[in-house]
Amino acid sequence: MMNLTQVTYFTLAGYFDTKVFKHLLFLILLCLYVLIIVSNVLLIVVICMTRSLHEPMYLFLCSLFVNELYGSTGLFPFLLLHVLSDVHTVSLSLCFLQIYCLYSYATIEFFTLAIMSYDRFLAICYPLQYSTRMTFNRIAILIAVTWLLALFIMCYTMLLTSSLQLCGNIINKVYCDNYYIVKLSCGDTTVNNICGLIGTVVTVFVPLTLIMFSYMKILKVCFSGCKQTRQKAVSTCTPHLASLLNFSFGVCFEIFHSRFDMSSAPNTLRIFLSLYFLTCQPLFNPLIYGLRLSKIHHVCKRLLRSDM
């Protein structure tokens, strides 16, 4: 039996030989990463530099875009390196660092989307009290709690995983995954499983419950309100719902890929399912919010015209 202190590296078995397409795949991933960085940084700068966008919804969006950069940086440099390499091994410390980044990214994403739904609930259901309820100090506290709580949860998760005794070092994915490392354990994983279940409830089901509650209240006000109220709800909630559905489907794809035997499925499909929420969400959010929210759209157009 070999314990974790004897495991110095993990082998990522999800990669396969792309032969002559190796460099093409590298260029595609590099372009995608650059596009994610440029689009998210652009919107962060637009929100920070435009005083008219210093409103709760846009400040929460700024936090969301920062999180997209954080999650993408935890994945893409790693992918780019391994796409070109013929040896797909990763050191123990780097593997745990990547797990920490990717899992905390997903947790922050759900928490932020939940807070944004609560913000829309206050704006639509309590418009007269909105400015007193959603103050700058409260916004700062909500954003800080979102990040600190997610980072703390992942610290505790990493401590539990690092105490496991392992009987192998092969991870059947293209990036490090905490669930797969727990499966490599040859000891008792009861505590990990219980904490994993509690963590899933806290990081996924609690935010989704808050989101469902907020939208039930919003729908109730829309059906009983005037046309102007319904238009406001549609214009501000549509991007949020689109982002939420895209991320939720991506997470479901990842869970389906990890928990069920998909050995009969093509390698490309399995890789796509596991990477969807990590690659498409950071690109999707700037696109949907930049196009759908008129204030951001107009500011971006004005900036582009002034540069021409």
Summarize the confidence of residues 257-275 as an average pLDDT. Answer: 75
Look at residue 122 and tell me whether its pLDDT is greater than 60: yes
Residue 303 pLDDT level (bands cut at 50, 70, 90): low
CB 178 within 8 A of CB 99: yes
The sign of the torsion formed by the CA atoms of 166, 16, 88, 200 equals: negative
Q: How many residues does the chain have?
A: 308
List C-alpha distances in Å: 290 to 33, 42, 226, 262: 18, 10, 27, 36
**Global pTM?**
0.91
Write down the domain spans for the chain.
4-307
CA distances from 223 to 125, 128, 155, 232, 238 (A): 12, 19, 44, 13, 16
What's the pLDDT band for 259 if we cut at 50, 70, 90? confident
The one-letter amino acid at 189: T
pLDDT classification of 108: cutoffs 50, 70, 90: very high
Checking if the pLDDT of 262 tops 70, the result is no
Query: Which amino acid appears at position 28 of this protein?
Result: I
So what's the pLDDT on residue 274?
84
The Cα 118–Cα 114 span in angstroms is: 6
Rounded Cα gap, residues 55 and 135, in angstroms: 9
- pLDDT category, 1, cuts 50, 70, 90? very low
- Class of domain 4-307 (CATH, top level): mainly alpha
Overall average pLDDT of the 134-154 stretch: 95
As a whole-number percent, the residues of the chain with pLDDT over 90 amount to 44
Model confidence pLDDT, tens digit, residues 55-95: 899 999 999 999 999 999 999 999 999 988 888 899 989 99
pLDDT digits (tens, 9 = 90+) for 196-211: 889 889 998 999 999 9
Q: In the prediction, which pLDDT does 5 show? A: 47
The answer on pLDDT for 232 being more than 80 is no
Query: For the ranges 40-49, 81-90, 224-233, which has the lowest average pLDDT?
Result: 224-233
pLDDT at 14 over 70: yes
User: Which one of 20-29, 97-106, 162-171, 219-228 scores highest in mean pLDDT?
Assistant: 97-106
